[in-house]
Structure 1
Amino acid sequence: MSSDPILQPYRLKHLTLRNRVFISSHEPAYTEDGMPKDRYRAYHVERARAGVALTMTAGSASVSRDSPPAFGNILAWKDEVVPWMKALADECHDHGAAVMIQLTHLGRRTRWDQGDWLPSLSSTGDREPAHRAFPKLIEDWDIARIVSDYADAAERMKAAGLDGIELEAYGHLMDQFWSPLTNTLDGPYNGPLDNRLRFAFEVLKAIRDRVGPGFIVGIRMVADECAEGGITRDEGVEIARRMKASGLVDFLNIIRGRIDTDAALTDVIPVQGMRSAPHLDFAGELRAATDFPVLHASRIPDVATARHAIAAGKLDLVGMTRAHIADPHLMAKVLRGEEDRIRPCVGANYCLDRIYQGGAALCLHNPSTGRELDLPHAVDRADAPLSVSVVGAGPGGLEAARVCAERGHRVTLHEAAGHAGGQIRLLAQLPRRREMLSVVEWRVAECERLGVTFRYNSFADEETVAAESPDVVIVATGGLPRTEGLFEGDDLVVSAWDILSGDAQPGRNVLVQDGAGDHAGLMAAERIAATGASVEIVTAERTLAPEVMGMTLTPYMRELQKGDVTFTPTWKLIGATRAGNGLDAVLGSDYGAMTRHRKVDQIVVNHGTLPLDDLYFGLKPLSSNLGEVDYEALIAGAPQRVEANPEGRFRLFRIGDAVASRNIHAAIHDAFRLCRVI
């Protein structure tokens, strides 16, 4: 037996788990009509097959009709969920993994204009800032109904063959009762702790009466809200002790903080540039205080931290959820002794941010996550090796080289710079975002392992590429910042890239025009503001940086609001002229003919990129497909068969920003789905 702490089996009640690593309950929003159908099942099965001990499905599966989906939640109040959950559980069991589900009533953490348009409800009438809906104050008949709904949902999950359930009590209805900040009720459900816990224990007893003593029931609970007037650490410990003493609960999954705002949620589930495992020691304190099985997950991105959590006795099971979103084969690689090949979670939070924006979870640099049915994680060998030339070693080009090499092709990768990375090198100039370099470093290491030939400082032109006699050419040359578009004064502005690269030094009174709404504008503004300069961020959007989603926006705002920074939505830069030693920036509006003027000494613009596509168009006449892509084949995962020019010498494709200004995930997705069938 291995001496590795995370590979030791663990017995939870009657259930023996094969190791100490679990995937915590989370909602990837892959549901269809509120059901965990084929896409949902494939996502969990992939991770079960690779060796995780326990996969917890469905963050916040809804137990009641008046708890409508806020982000693709499973509808556990429907009987039709049973066969879908059974299919998922059975297949995961076949691969040796246990399966649980998280059940909840969202309370005020949802909206009334979803689902059946029933009023949201809570133990308070105050709205939750994150979802902006005012709930009705819960009544006695609501409580009785919801208690019964919990029991019904638990019974459905037992009928589906799951190994257990977990109740959600952080930011949801259950702990809205617990917290003095969110309980304004009169009578038996407010006041002393006994009263505030009454609803939770009524739910737990109803569940136990329905599912019996042998079914595993846990609770994911906030044990310290880190907010004045909220649940304190001491009160959290007392709640945990009472949960244990009740005999109704089999494990605790410990959380610290609040989730009612983007900023608070980001402290509970930290993102890139924030401290790893910030609540691990706290969870360990709860375990020591209760001597009860404790689970925990909160930015534990690497195997070393997971080992420490188990070896130090802080946790019984360690959650590595986003790490498994990035690499579903994480445990298989640990078991094979290939930890150095684990695709790292870089904390970019593309997964969670997309969910909270109403999309489905996707990993920034694993295009197969959530697409297991259409884009399997494994890359098959090609029938015959080809010669492939890739130009550009940004994330898209590196992915193209990696996948082609996995296929068994001979790959040469040209890069004009002396190192790989492309735009990622630029964004990593901000210290908080240096983890992004792992996107590059992992691919470089994989390419080197697979025998890709790197040619750095190679500004490849048509002759360079043609001289290699390739069968396939992939142009991944990226783009350059777009700075044109004013009615006058294009020559007076600098780009966000100029600021980040150091080609332009920050001014003292700066206007940042953000016309793309992505990271670059905020990064430039942050770097300028850090010098003590006065900064105004202007955007024609209704909101600041809409492409930078809620949780990822939090660190930017915390830095920007420290400085002399003003945010001006619904206005845009339309022109610039010299005014003495400074500049006159002219602002316009999409809402009318109004204008405003700003006297500044520097104007920085962020308008996305223009494709760097000269090489592509130079090679196009030489190619057999004339650059054409069969989109139907691309989407279906079929090889490209276009032959528009029979005299062509190679097939030609371009990907990423060489096509149009998009993001890292788009470039990697382009590369993966194209190259996996070349």
Structure 2
Amino acid sequence: MADDPLLQPYRLKHLTLRNRIMSTAHEPAYSEDGLPKERYRLYHAEKAKGGIALTMTAGSAIVSRDSPAAFGNLHAYKDEIVPWLRELADACHEHGTAVMMQITHLGRRTNWNKADWLPVLAPSPIREPAHRSFPKTAEDWDLDRIVADYADTAERMRAGGLDGIEIEAYGHLLDGFWSPATNLRADEYNGSLDNRLRFTWRVLDAIRARVGPDFIVGLRMVADEDWDKGLTREEGVEIARRLVASGQVDFLNLIRGHIETDAALAEVIPIQGMRSAPHLDFCGEVRAETKFPILHAARIADVATARHAIAEGKLDMVGMTRAHIADPHIVRKISEGREDEIRPCVGATYCLDRIYEGHEALCIHNPATGRERSMPHVITRADGPPRRVVVIGAGPAGLEAARVSAGRGHAVTLLEAAPEAGGQVRLASRLPRRRELIGIVDWRVAMCERAGVDMRFNSYAEAADVLALEPDVVIIATGGLPNTGIVEGAELAVSTWDILAGDVKPAGRVLVYDDNAAHPGLTAAEAIADAGCSVEIVTPERFFAADIGGLNHVAYARAFDRHGVRITINKRVLGVRRSGNALVAAIGSDYGERVDEREVDMLVVEHGTLPLDDLYFDLRPLSRNGGEVDHAALIDVRPQAATRNPDGRFQLFRIGDAVASRNVHAAIYDALRLCVAV
């Protein structure tokens, strides 16, 4: 490991970073009252425990009151933030990790109808489509005030014990002056590059005057908007050169692209099915031209790519941000020779899509992230005697239950009716663009094998099979089966499972009735369109794909646009009947009595699943707890102790879709918080 490029220290000004891996700034929306309290601190401290060199907090902390939080941003304009910063910095420093914070004025990238209801402002009154606010043109007194706000904020960051700050110039106010797409001013802040940088110099000068030359100050900047309307590569690199020559900044964190729409943002922050590290070579070119410390992150999800970035001199520090949401202990596992145990980032981008939809960041398959107060990232052995645990079903819930139970030191037997593990995740991963999802399954299978779980495939379990194993705990993770019966004449329809499993080959005109508005219906629709069929998606939702976040929406929308898929909202498929060799679907809505008909060759219905729970109910009378779950104990991560039948031979629980139709994260979280207390 001594020769591993990723594990070499790096000196940034006076600060020695213990290796070359960092987590770049992002806002997980764990703040409370705009402050980085316990949940926020524990999230970053976990990465510090895991060996990361630098954790960049906030994405971004806001410097002014007229830059209201867009997605849980920290309120860096408040003096109250300082003691919380000290706690966070101390917690990370204790483990040898440096801490910085990204600060910004969001400019037009927020909304006016929240917080103090102040007008959104920008260099020019050009609306950002993503946040939809019409900004006012920033006046001279606005700029004076904001410059002072930046300086005040920088002073708070230094007082909070941070190692430095990063100023955001990437779709926000600062770089709004740089770009021809967003700066239409007719004053001294537009025209030449000197003029467009005028506000930037004012901000940097004010910050340096306040914090002095020794505090680390960097810039996360767009060096090429990759857009015919925006900042060119030539001008972006020239801005980088000027920043370097100024001596005002200590590092550059490079971005390529623009972010005012979901489609544009997806090119900057690629998801599964898109290119790995698409901007890495560009960053290497800028590093070569500027001879300056360069940081970067954009879908660098695996250690091999990160190692290449450092070994080839493309970056000085490599950001593995989403990868650390999946596994905050990446560096520790590398240094201990356990690289093959790293929980993979599968590119699902559940984390970011939740943020952009107004929720907190959660990893699709690491439910401990963001829940460090109650959920462990490392499973430890139970204090009591080992127990015999039988898990039925090897989907994500069952695999997690087996992994965690084995980690607790219990003897685990896993029974799965299919010839291989995976459940619905395996189905979803059959769409080529989403094949990375299988990492959720493969990692758990490998961890179960390593822990000695007795995995038995092609084993359809009945009550007698379970009882023969003399279990102490039985966990039913049998999932569910497609619920297509919501449509009259449903026997003529097929399910999304039929399509994804390849049991039914789509042909001709296909109507997909998506009364779920989540991934299954859209994944099936994309597969059908890819097969060359004519596709219409009908949904009763008032907007399309209600449970799909913006970044994942982009990939579906591109596929549907490419294939000419018709999308109909606010409509329900009421029934279907046969007409010769075709089907006729009756389509109504919640808003009137009108019923239209569509003649199609195939109707695909997606309405979630119904629990496959026969085994659970067969075992209930024999169990000690009758299947009861003490919710208070579950939430508090205490052992389950309910007793409804004192003569029962075992405890019985069901998890995941065997309870109700939900998603991958919910299934895995069910398993973790139940089994970590067994």
Same fold (TM over 0.5): yes
Distance 1:6 1:162 in 2: 23
2:399 is aligned to 398
Which runs of 5 or more residues in structure 2 are unaligned? none
1:381 is aligned to 381
- CA contact 1:404–1:411 (8 Å) conserved in 2: yes
Distance 1:114 1:21 in 2: 36
- CA contact 1:481–1:606 (8 Å) conserved in 2: yes
Distance 2:378 2:252 in 1: 35
Alignment of 1:630-641 (within 5 A): 630-641=630-641
Distance 2:588 2:640 in 1: 46
> AA paired with 2:387?
L
Alignment of 1:71-86 (within 5 A): 71-86=71-86
Q: In the TM superposition, what is the alpha-carbon distance from 1:399 to its structure 2 partner?
A: 0.2
Matched, 1:533 2:523: no
Q: In the TM superposition, what is the alpha-carbon distance from 1:426 to its structure 2 partner?
A: 0.6
2:468 is aligned to 467
Distance 1:328 1:425 in 2: 25
Partner SS state of residue 70, structure 2 = coil
Distance 1:140 1:622 in 2: 76
1:3 is aligned to 3
1:240 is aligned to 240
Distance 1:351 1:526 in 2: 23
Distance 2:235 2:596 in 1: 54
2:53 is aligned to 53
- CA contact 1:27–1:72 (8 Å) conserved in 2: yes
> AA paired with 1:363?
C
1:621 is aligned to 621
- CA contact 1:532–1:564 (8 Å) conserved in 2: no
Matched, 1:602 2:602: yes
Partner SS state of residue 65, structure 2 = coil
Matched, 1:440 2:441: yes
Name the stretch that deviates more: 546-555 or 622-631. Answer: 546-555
Q: In the TM superposition, what is the alpha-carbon distance from 1:544 to its structure 2 partner?
A: 1.4
Q: In the TM superposition, what is the alpha-carbon distance from 1:380 to its structure 2 partner?
A: 2.3
Provide the alpha-carbon RMSD of the alignment. Answer: 0.8
Q: In the TM superposition, what is the alpha-carbon distance from 1:124 to its structure 2 partner?
A: 2.0
2:644 is aligned to 644
Distance 1:564 1:82 in 2: 53
- CA contact 1:48–1:96 (8 Å) conserved in 2: yes
Distance 2:138 2:198 in 1: 14
Distance 1:422 1:162 in 2: 45
Distance 2:71 2:51 in 1: 28
| Per-residue Cα deviation, 1:208-247 (whole angstroms, up to 9, x for no partner) | 0000000000000001111102111111110000000111
1:483 is aligned to 484
1:558 is aligned to 558
Partner SS state of residue 308, structure 1 = helix
| Per-residue Cα deviation, 1:558-600 (whole angstroms, up to 9, x for no partner) | 1111112111011110111122321111111112222211111
Partner SS state of residue 592, structure 1 = coil
Name the stretch that deviates more: 312-321 or 121-130. Answer: 121-130
TM-score norm. by structure 2 comes to 0.99
Distance 1:457 1:221 in 2: 54
> AA paired with 1:386?
R
| Per-residue Cα deviation, 1:30-79 (whole angstroms, up to 9, x for no partner) | 00000000000000011111211111001110000000000000000000
2:299 is aligned to 299
2:92 is aligned to 92
Partner SS state of residue 71, structure 2 = coil
Partner SS state of residue 100, structure 1 = strand
Q: In the TM superposition, what is the alpha-carbon distance from 1:145 to its structure 2 partner?
A: 0.4
Distance 2:563 2:163 in 1: 51
| Per-residue Cα deviation, 1:271-294 (whole angstroms, up to 9, x for no partner) | 011111110000101100101000
| Per-residue Cα deviation, 1:342-378 (whole angstroms, up to 9, x for no partner) | 0000000011110000000001101100000011212
2:20 is aligned to 20
Distance 2:329 2:581 in 1: 59
> AA paired with 2:484?
T
Distance 1:530 1:437 in 2: 20
Distance 1:512 1:50 in 2: 45
> AA paired with 2:356?
Y
Q: In the TM superposition, what is the alpha-carbon distance from 1:184 to its structure 2 partner?
A: 1.5
> AA paired with 1:345?
C
Partner SS state of residue 565, structure 2 = strand
Distance 2:675 2:581 in 1: 53
Between the two proteins, the alignment pairs up a number of residues equal to 677
Distance 2:535 2:450 in 1: 46
Distance 1:593 1:631 in 2: 43
| Per-residue Cα deviation, 1:413-469 (whole angstroms, up to 9, x for no partner) | 000011111111111110111111111111111111111001110000000000111
Matched, 1:355 2:355: yes
- CA contact 1:389–1:413 (8 Å) conserved in 2: yes
Distance 2:527 2:25 in 1: 37
Q: In the TM superposition, what is the alpha-carbon distance from 1:253 to its structure 2 partner?
A: 0.2
TM-score norm. by structure 1 comes to 0.99
Distance 2:229 2:642 in 1: 66
Partner SS state of residue 510, structure 1 = strand
Distance 1:94 1:397 in 2: 37
- CA contact 1:533–1:564 (8 Å) conserved in 2: no
| Per-residue Cα deviation, 1:109-131 (whole angstroms, up to 9, x for no partner) | 00001110101000121211111
Q: Percent identity, please.
A: 65
Distance 1:152 1:239 in 2: 25
2:190 is aligned to 190
Query: Would you identify which runs of 4 or more consecutive aligned residues in structure 1 move more than 6 Å?
Result: none
> AA paired with 1:192?
S
> AA paired with 2:606?
N
Distance 2:557 2:295 in 1: 31
Alignment of 1:239-278 (within 5 A): 239-278=239-278
Matched, 1:32 2:32: yes
| Per-residue Cα deviation, 1:599-625 (whole angstroms, up to 9, x for no partner) | 111111111111100000010001000
Partner SS state of residue 223, structure 1 = strand
